[in-house]
Amino acid sequence: MIPLEPYYELSDDVLDTRIRIAKETLGAECVILGHHYQREEVYKFADLTGDSLKLSRLASQRSDARYIVFCGVHFMAEVADILSAPHQTVILPDMAAGCSMADMADLPRVQEAWRALGEIMDVEREVTPITYVNSMADLKGFCGEHGGVVCTSSNAVKILQWAFSQREKVLFFPDQHLGRISAFSLGIPLEEMVVWDPTQNNGGIDPDTLRRAKVILWDGFCSVHQMFQTAHIDLFRARIPGIQVIVHPECSFDVCRMADYRGSTELIQTTVREAPAGSQWAIGTELNLVNRLKNEMPDKGIYFLCPTICMCSTMFRIDAQHLCWTLENLVAGEVVNVISVPTNVAISAGKALSRMLAVV
Ligand code: 13P
Ligand code: SF4
């Protein structure tokens, strides 16, 4: 295997040229997928870009490519592995590119919640487990085996609708904010939602309250999106009358409610791109995406909603050095950083992902 360290001695220009050459050498054998939060130095080499849902679909459609190099985070590469064909190999250029929100729920704690709920109600008949795609593959597997489903930021409302057509309650993990705003937009009042604290007995909720609840939200959140505050929206509206606010649904309930629009990274990008010249936007999502839109559209006023910098440090781990190293290893016949979900988990998780793809 070619070692990584020497790549940090290369200049940006040299890295650019070498990535380009390696990509050309690999040709159609290799497809690079890039999430919208990727740094520019990496994103510009992506053959296909998108939000989590779009990238999941794209991964399953590119069966011609032997290698899928996923410039994103670990759970996304796992989904690509589950949805891609057996002859394809998924690669994550830096294995440390995780997601702190995904780490907030794990299989033992979700199984324990399911067991505890089972003492209070008939879980298999009454509760649909829904996992946000930002979760480990074995949690998707859990949902697959318990009549549950995966959702993404772009389809959470539709998936909840589907879930309520199956059973009367949902257990939604790991992102409480996405679950709350999506359920609320279906008309479910906050009084019918509870937050399950996995460190407490019975999630810290008394049995009667649990029996009355329609939505049980896991106590998880995105540390990047929780930085956006309603006061930031007030400030922009006072400073720039007529400014439109668009946020990702991982933001808090109050921020989502106050914004003019909310949606996935793909929806944010499309909405701002389609807006007329001269329009003003304050955007509440990761900085790399906001900066890209700002540079691309100098004819619009585009602002980052938070006064301090909030970036996704794990998305940031994928840099030009790791991408170049990954591709040059492939050219040399070495496959590094393979993401391979164990077959039994992939089969169960595949059921929950297929349910999602059948609904949306
Ligand atoms: P999207 O599916 O909207 O791209 O979101 C992924 C994510 O991790 C946002 O923090
Ligand atoms: Fe995870 Fe938040 Fe980063 Fe998205 S922005 S990958 S939810 S830590």
Q: Which CATH number do you get for residue 205?
A: 3.40.50
Give 59 or 194, the one with higher predicted confidence: 194
User: Considering the domain boundaries, does residue 175 fall inside one?
Assistant: yes
Nearest Cα residue to atom 7 of ligand 2: 222
User: Considering the domain boundaries, does residue 181 fall inside one?
Assistant: yes
Query: How many angstroms is it from 71 CA to the middle of ligand 2?
Result: 14
User: Considering the domain boundaries, does residue 359 fall inside one?
Assistant: no
Residues 128 and 145 reside in one and the same domain: yes
Query: How many angstroms is it from 25 CA to the middle of ligand 2?
Result: 33
pTM confidence score: 0.97
Cα-based torsion angle of the residue sequence 156, 158, 162, 163 in order, rounded to the nearest 10 degrees: 20
Residues 74 and 135 reside in one and the same domain: no
pLDDT band at 5 (very low <50, low <70, confident <90, very high): very high
Write down the mean pLDDT value for the chain: 97
Query: How many angstroms is it from 155 CA to the middle of ligand 1?
Result: 12
pLDDT band at 163 (very low <50, low <70, confident <90, very high): very high
pLDDT of residue 71: 98
Residues 19 and 119 reside in one and the same domain: no
User: Considering the domain boundaries, does residue 119 fall inside one?
Assistant: yes
Residues 91 and 189 reside in one and the same domain: no
Reported as a single tens digit per residue, the pLDDT across 89-120 is: 999 999 999 999 999 999 999 999 999 999 99
Listed residues 285, 304, 323: the one ending a domain? 304
Residues 298 and 326 reside in one and the same domain: no
| Count: domains in the chain | 3
Residues 284 and 323 reside in one and the same domain: no
Query: How many angstroms is it from 180 CA to the middle of ligand 2?
Result: 18
Residues 126 and 189 reside in one and the same domain: yes
Q: What is the CATH number of the domain that holds 258?
A: 3.40.50.10800
The length of the chain, given as a count of residues? 360
Owning domain of residue 115:
102-223
Angle in degrees, CA 306, 302, 222, rounded to 5: 35
Region of residue 109 (phi > 0: left; psi between -120 and 50: alpha; otherwise: beta): alpha
Structure tokens at 113: 């919640």
User: Considering the domain boundaries, does residue 167 fall inside one?
Assistant: yes
Angle in degrees, CA 157, 143, 189, rounded to 5: 35
Structure tokens at 342: 């164990």
User: Considering the domain boundaries, does residue 186 fall inside one?
Assistant: yes
d(CA 117, CA 161): 22
How much is the average pLDDT of 2-30?
A: 98
Residues with CB under 6 A from ligand 2: 73, 99-101, 134, 222, 224, 250, 286, 312, 314-315
Is the pLDDT confidence value at 146 over 90? yes
Query: How many angstroms is it from 112 CA to the middle of ligand 1?
Result: 27
| Pocket-testing residue among 76, 177, 265, 272, ligand 1, by greatest number of atoms within 8 A of Cβ | 265
Spatial neighbors of 10 by CB under 8 A, at least 6 apart, are 18, 321, 324
How much is the average pLDDT of 155-184?
A: 98
Reported as a single tens digit per residue, the pLDDT across 242-251 is: 999 999 999 9
Residues 85 and 108 reside in one and the same domain: no
Strands lying side by side in the sheet with 338-339: 48-50, 30-35, 67-71, 89-91, 338-339
Is the pLDDT confidence value at 322 over 90? yes
Residues 293 and 325 reside in one and the same domain: no
Nearest Cα residue to atom 3 of ligand 2: 312
d(CA 237, CA 241): 5
pLDDT of residue 310: 85
- Of the bound ligands, which one is closest to the alpha carbon of residue 97? 2
Angle in degrees, CA 286, 291, 294, rounded to 5: 130
